[in-house]
């Protein structure tokens, strides 16, 4: 039997498969992992002060690095704390390997204080869950989890490791699974899409997944659009979009159901590329869930598991679309010293973005115009809240900075959502990450006020008390400084734009509290 | 069909059953509840900036008020965010009714961003879960959920309400379930316990549940102990213990396995009263999970579902134990201006506690001596971390203050654990609650350093980086002020004791950052 304990075999197997970052919030049942990570020195270990930081960071890391990190979580409560950002990562189809410690097997018979259903908690937010059964197979289990996480699209793989397996000898470093080949789309489907584009009616190509983050694929789509008049659309929220000057623009389907119905209402054909048919975030009385008009023909050119980039490049060639020519578009102008609102915020950000910036967007209500305003800014990557579980932004920005070294990250962050995971600022300070967080301080759950209006109510004090967060006012400058991050407050759009640019030029994290004009 | 919508029938049913506080973090799918709560004005609605605040507060509320509050949570991510403190509440056997919004049923077919397994997420942290099936039965479902939450011992009841049921008419306010009678223990069991106490050997009575919070029952136990020489012990962590001058003392079984083995090693008999047989928090190589010595006779006098108070009072009378006489014990003396450590912390708190104080203890490593030091302080209630999922303290203190109006609350709070749910301070400010939070700033996950030592490792930088939280230092004065709560920092035990006393004499919340001498 090998002398290596189970924990070390797991760490070595993951590292052999390319995992070199571990986002961690360990507890007692993970101490042998902590020890193995320490002794081997194979991974950068990044501590989060709460589990939602850990998993949100792993999501942001995957979106930028294009490969999974691992997380280290403590028992069932660790998984539930981590759950909302795992939900977001799962909806983004990001790849993550969660390592979750469980009580030693002989301890499970007792209802110890921390005993609970780890597998059940993991099932809710994972694509793949396994509890290891022997020290000798922790390595092969880890290799399988990593293969799942790395597949196309990415997946959440959760490996539960009873503590006795981690401390016992007999660990074996496992072989890596062979690299998966991403299936190409059949020629027949390309033909069908070409026929649809050649026919009558208004056509939209709705894209997400890796395609939206692949500039070459976007150029092929722009060729198709140019040749056929098809519109390019994306879902409201996407894992990663490449955007900015020289990159073809893709229109985002709005969050508000009425606006998306208006945008999509005249469509006769919809072609999906690594994207779902558009549906509302929520259902409302007397509103449809499906946003495409009745009778609209639907064709999936490439499913989530297929190679959408290859498909659109082949389609562009198949229809003999002319070569791509970038349209010249005016870069965003910096705003003057006007109050900060949805419009001036977009101008301030668009003018300030340096080339290669990464935007992490949890701007919710106020940011709905920001996306459009940044379309002509310097080329950048845009990461958004894919699962609707707020509290993703600050953790995701943390992980994105680690996944894209040398690229400055700006996190456009609603205040209410910031308060779910404000703890992540501390990790940014600890790791000295180049993240600028712009807090949109409107002191409201503004999105919910909009939703309450749809209920048709004339809200009273008790309702407003559940939607307004300005009593007492949150002071994000103090909160940031308390977490070790420098901070400032700005009240006009010109100052905001300047502050963003200055912060992105400086190393290390910084918080800008943008006081919103209501 | 009634004009009342489903949401209103649910709110009215719960209120008729005595629920008048709703801890809330609503989203779009709960807007009709927000509207119903607003229109009826029947409940005090308390907003938390994150779901873990909401459920931790509901736990603290139950422990003090002795009746359930309801919570309002948003879809599966809301439940996962709420999960860790529901886990703690479940282990405390607190009663809570969770109301969780779900997508309208017609929307479930679509993989909308927030779609996920709400029932699965709820199952992990609830004793009872139901998804309502009609507007007309939301009321009866609520009545059943409330009956479950109110049962003895308390339970976590989670009712999932699809949005279309909440907005549709046809709601019916349901009858309340009849009050449950708590089963009394058979005379035969009382006889057996009397025989055990009459026999040879060392006997401990291990108690928890409601008994530990019932002064009359504690006096009966003290009579039994006085008459028979039995020791009174409690588990490490308990929902609520009544303590202080005039209240019989119960020794807490230590967290550290070696120390508890030492305490329990000479026992021949153990009698359980609403308490489990003691087991370690965690298993370790070559250490037992069960803490009672092999061969120790075990007898359950009263199970969790039985009336332990009645049983111990009958037992005391049955063995003709002499009447209770309070022992005079020296009150804790205020410490001098010495550094703050485990010992001086206990003195500082013990001397400062006013009569009727509520102590919320998430002191973890540093607080292990505090409990003993406060045994002779003015009479007070002590609430501890029952499920081991850290981040309970600040939320629980928030709810305890609402559940015990007029009684000052002091939360002895480890710094690392504080950072899981620091957001709860804002709710304390918003509701102007009399909570004093003493942050034990040792800048460590000190408990985990102890655990890593047990692994036998000589930890390197990478391991320590996952256990030390002092880089950058957290500034709890700034964090508190950023959340709207006044704060100060103290560095010696005399100042700490004075600061605690002054804060408890003042209305409203206050944070004291106690700089620990390492």
- Nearest C-alpha neighbor of A315 from the set A406, A399, A388, A223: A223
Which chain B residue shows the shortest CA-CA distance from A427? B472
- In angstroms, how far is the first alpha carbon of chain A from the final one? 68
Q: Which helix (H) or strand (E) holds B502?
A: helix B493-505
- The count of other CB atoms within 10 Å of the CB of residue B518 is 10
pLDDT in tens, chain B (518 residues): 689 999 999 999 999 999 999 999 999 889 999 999 999 999 999 999 999 999 999 999 999 999 999 999 999 999 999 999 999 999 999 999 999 999 999 999 998 999 999 999 999 999 999 999 999 999 999 999 999 999 999 999 999 999 999 999 999 999 999 988 999 999 999 999 999 999 999 999 999 999 999 999 999 999 999 999 999 999 999 999 999 999 999 999 999 999 999 999 999 999 999 999 999 989 888 889 999 999 999 999 999 999 999 999 999 999 999 999 988 888 889 999 999 999 999 999 999 999 999 999 999 878 777 998 899 999 999 999 999 999 999 999 999 999 999 999 999 999 999 999 999 999 999 999 999 999 999 888 777 888 887 776 678 888 888 888 899 999 999 999 999 999 999 999 999 999 999 999 999 999 999 999 87
**Residue range B342-515, CATH number:** 3.40.50.970
Contacts of B124 in chain A (CB under 8 A): 76, 80, 116-117, 120-121, 124
Give the tens place of pLDDT for each residue, A260-272. Answer: 999 999 999 999 9
Interface test mutation site (partner B, options A83, A287, A292, max chain B beta carbons within 10 A) = A83
Q: What percent of chain A has pLDDT over 70?
A: 99
Interface test mutation site (partner A, options B37, B283, B453, B508, max chain A beta carbons within 10 A) = B283
| Shortest Cα distance, chain B CAs vs residue A247, angstroms | 27
Q: Does A280 contact B49 at a Cβ distance shorter than 8 Å?
A: no
Sheet holding B241-243, edge to edge: B241-243, B380-384, B357-362, B409-414, B435-441, B510-515, B486-490
| Shortest Cα distance, chain A CAs vs residue B180, angstroms | 26
Predicted local confidence at residue B442, as pLDDT: 87
Q: Does B164 contact A285 at a Cβ distance shorter than 8 Å?
A: yes
Contacts of B163 in chain A (CB under 8 A): 282-283
Predicted local confidence at residue A369, as pLDDT: 78
Q: Which residues are within 8 A (CB) of B471 and not within 5 positions of it... i.e. 6 or more apart?
A: A430
Q: Which helix (H) or strand (E) holds B463?
A: helix B461-464
Give the tens place of pLDDT for each residue, A39-88. Answer: 999 999 999 999 999 999 999 999 999 999 999 999 999 999 999 999 99
Cα–Cα distance measured from residue B130 to residue B53, given in angstroms and rounded to the nearest whole number:
23
Is the CB of residue A477 less than 8 Å away from at least one CB of chain B?
A: yes
Options 3.40.1160.10, 3.40.1180.10, 3.40.50.970, 1.10.1200.10; CATH of B6-167: 3.40.50.970
Is the CB of residue A164 less than 8 Å away from at least one CB of chain B?
A: yes
Predicted local confidence at residue B460, as pLDDT: 85
Residue A463 is nearest to which of B35, B386, B482, comparing CB atoms?
B35
Cα–Cα distance measured from residue A13 to residue A27, given in angstroms and rounded to the nearest whole number:
22
Q: Does A482 contact B462 at a Cβ distance shorter than 8 Å?
A: no
**Residues of B numbered 253-312 whose beta carbons fall under 8 angstroms of chain A's beta carbons: which are they?**
276, 279-283, 285, 289-290
Contacts of B395 in chain A (CB under 8 A): none
Asked whether the predicted pLDDT for residue A334 surpasses 80, the reply is yes
CATH 3.40.50.970 segments of chain A: 6-167, 342-515
Cα dihedral A108/A111/A113/A116 (nearest 10): 60
Q: Which helix (H) or strand (E) holds B242?
A: strand B241-243
**pTM of the predicted protein model:** 0.97
Residue A37 is nearest to which of B80, B276, B462, comparing CB atoms?
B462
Asked whether the predicted pLDDT for residue A372 surpasses 80, the reply is yes
Is the CB of residue A358 less than 8 Å away from at least one CB of chain B?
A: no
Contacts of B429 in chain A (CB under 8 A): 472
CA A271 to chain centre: 24
Predicted local confidence at residue A287, as pLDDT: 86
- Please state, rounded to an integer, the average pLDDT across all residues of chain A: 95
CATH 3.40.50.1220 segments of chain A: 187-318
Task: Report whether B430 contacts B89 (CB < 8 A).
Answer: no
Region A123-134: mean pLDDT is 98
Residue A452 is nearest to which of B35, B106, B282, comparing CB atoms?
B35
Task: Report whether A130 contacts A137 (CB < 8 A).
Answer: no
A454 pLDDT tier (thresholds 50, 70, 90): confident
Fold category of A187-318 in CATH = Rossmann fold (3.40.50)
Is the CB of residue A237 less than 8 Å away from at least one CB of chain B?
A: yes
Cα–Cα distance measured from residue B221 to residue B313, given in angstroms and rounded to the nearest whole number:
8
Which chain A residue shows the shortest CA-CA distance from B469? A49
Positive or negative, the CA dihedral B349, B350, B356, B361 is positive
Cα–Cα distance measured from residue A316 to residue B53, given in angstroms and rounded to the nearest whole number:
53
Sheet holding A203-207, edge to edge: A251-252, A231-234, A203-207, A269-273, A297-302
């Amino acid at each position: 039997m090998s002398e290596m304990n189970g924990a070390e075999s797991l760490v070595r197997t993951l590292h052999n498969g390319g995992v070199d970052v571990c986002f961690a919030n360990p507890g007692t049942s993970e101490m042998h992992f902590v020890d193995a990570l320490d002794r081997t020195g194979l991974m950068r270990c990044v501590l989060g002060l709460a589990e939602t930081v850990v998993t949100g960071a792993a999501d942001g890391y995957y979106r930028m690095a294009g490969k999974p990190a691992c997380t280290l979580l403590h028992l069932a409560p660790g998984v539930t704390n981590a759950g909302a950002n795992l939900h977001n990562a799962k909806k983004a189809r990001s790849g993550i390997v969660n390592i979750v410690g469980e009580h030693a097997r002989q301890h499970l018979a007792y209802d110890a204080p921390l005993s609970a259903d780890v597998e059940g908690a993991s099932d809710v937010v994972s694509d793949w869950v396994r509890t290891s059964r022997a020290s000798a197979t922790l390595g092969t289990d880890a290799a399988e989890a990593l293969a799942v996480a790395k597949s196309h699209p990415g997946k959440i793989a959760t490996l539960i490791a009873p503590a006795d397996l981690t401390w016992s000898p007999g660990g074996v470093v496992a072989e890596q699974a062979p690299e998966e080949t991403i299936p190409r789309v059949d020629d027949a489907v390309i033909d069908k899409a070409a026929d649809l584009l050649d026919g009558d009616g208004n056509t939209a190509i709705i894209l997400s997944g890796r395609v939206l983050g692949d500039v070459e694929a976007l150029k092929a789509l722009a060729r198709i659009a140019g040749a056929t008049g098809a519109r390019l659309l994306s879902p409201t929220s996407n894992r990663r979009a490449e955007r900015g000057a020289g990159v073809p623009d893709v229109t985002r389907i709005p969050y508000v159901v009425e606006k998306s119905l208006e945008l999509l209402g005249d469509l006769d054909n919809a072609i999906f590329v690594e994207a779902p048919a558009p549906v509302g975030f929520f259902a409302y009385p007397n509103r449809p869930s499906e946003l495409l008009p009745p009778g609209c023909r639907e064709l999936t050119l490439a499913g989530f598991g297929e190679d959408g980039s290859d498909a659109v490049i082949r389609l562009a060639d198949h229809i003999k679309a002319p070569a791509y020519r970038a349209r010249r578009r005016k870069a965003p102008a910096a705003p003057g010293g006007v109050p900060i609102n949805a419009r001036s915020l977009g101008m301030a950000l668009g003018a300030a973005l340096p080339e290669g910036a990464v935007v992490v967007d949890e701007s919710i209500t106020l940011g709905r115009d920001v996306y459009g305003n940044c379309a002509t800014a310097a080329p950048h990557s845009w990461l958004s809240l894919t699962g609707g579980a707020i509290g993703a932004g600050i953790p995701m920005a943390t992980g994105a900075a680690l996944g894209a070294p040398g690229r400055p990250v700006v996190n456009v962050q609603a205040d209410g959502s910031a308060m779910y995971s404000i703890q992540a600022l501390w990790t940014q300070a600890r790791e000295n990450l180049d993240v600028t967080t712009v807090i949109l301080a409107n002191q409201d759950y503004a999105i919910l006020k909009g939703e309450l209006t749809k209920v048709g109510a004339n809200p009273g004090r008790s309702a407003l008390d559940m939607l307004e967060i300005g009593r007492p006012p949150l002071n994000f400058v103090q909160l940031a400084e308390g977490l070790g991050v420098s901070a400032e407050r700005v009240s006009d759009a010109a100052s905001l734009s300047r502050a963003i640019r200055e912060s992105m030029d400086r190393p290390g994290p910084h918080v800008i509290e943008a006081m919103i004009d209501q």
